[in-house]
Amino acid sequence: MRLRSPRPDRMQQKTEGASAVLIMVLILLLLQLWLLNIAMEAFMAANNSLAVPTFLASAFCFALTLYALKALASLDKEGKSGR
Amino acid sequence: MTEEHRIHWREDFPIGQEEDQYVTRREFTRFLALASGAVLIGNGYFVLRRKQQSEQAAEPVEIAGAASLQPGRALLFYYPTPSDPALLIRLQSGQYVAYRQRCTHLSCPVLYSEERNRLECPCHNGMFDAATGQVLAGPPPRPLPRIALHVEEGRVLATGVIGS
């Protein structure tokens, strides 16, 4: 009996793709944490003018994260159809 | 060892290392996306609080007992919400000033010192000028948030919070 080859090259490509998405999402999350910190500092100082801009910037980062997740899902689909 | 024996372990462990790494990274990325949503909700909280505060601060509130306050003395009151302590100070000149009571360093309550005519934070020795709210010494990074006042017919009204 001979087992199917796991096709390491294709799998390696997928892993590299997932790593790239992971790094991007991680950077976006760090940016969001920084924005949250700014919003909190401003709130503690009774300066509310930064609440909306930081929220909008954070929402943009979240949208990019969702887009990255979509790319990850398409990577998954690609892998399944390629089998 | 025969060829058949050699491939048995592959049937026991059918997931390759590369595939395992891929799945782990994908799942971790999903977790990070969840964290990203949580951080966004955190930012939204400050937007909601801002809205609440602007609605509450729209109405002027009379500070009870302010008229009988002697020069060089301070009075504790709550503004704009019952959970926001503030200090009304009557300076030696007779002028009224008011600040939020939270230190801009780590939110400890500041106290008015009559002898030195300044506001002092007992936690980390932060000091603020009583007339302006500016930082005189210590770790506070910003002046104290000031409360806008309106004096009419002996009554003192708090009309809003001026951010530092």
Give the model confidence (pLDDT) of A37-54 as tens digits. Answer: 999 988 877 677 889 999
Quickly state the pLDDT bin for A83 (edges 50, 70, 90).
very low
Residue A60 lies in a domain: yes
B47 vs A11, A14, A55: nearest CB: A55
Which two three-digit tokens encode residue A59?
A: 């929402």
Question: Taking residues B78-93, what's their average pLDDT?
Answer: 89
DSSP state of B59: S
Residue A24 lies in a domain: no
Per the structure, how many domains does chain A have? 1
SS (H, E, C) B29-45: HHHHHHHHHHHHHHHHH
Residue A67 lies in a domain: yes
Report the distance separating Cα B103 and Cα A16, nearest Å: 49
Report the distance separating Cα A68 and Cα B25, nearest Å: 13
Residue A20 lies in a domain: no
A66 vs B16, B28, B33: nearest CB: B33
> What's the pLDDT at B12?
72
Report the alpha-carbon angle B141-B160-B162, nearest 5. Answer: 25
Q: Nearest CA to A63 among B37, B29, B38, B32?
A: B37
| Best mutation target, A1, A12, A25, to test chain B (most B CBs within 10 A) | A25
DSSP state of B109: B
Say if residues B110 and B128 touch (Cβ distance below 8 Å): yes
CATH topology of domain B61-162: Rieske Iron-sulfur Protein (2.102.10)
Inter-chain touch B50–A65, beta carbons under 8 Å: no
Residue A43 lies in a domain: yes
> What's the pLDDT at A8?
60
What is the domain partition of chain B in residue ranges?
3-56, 61-162
Residue A10 lies in a domain: no
Burial of B15 (0-12, 13-18, 19+ CB in 10 A): exposed
Q: What's the complex ipTM?
A: 0.82
Look up residue B129 and give its amino acid. Answer: D
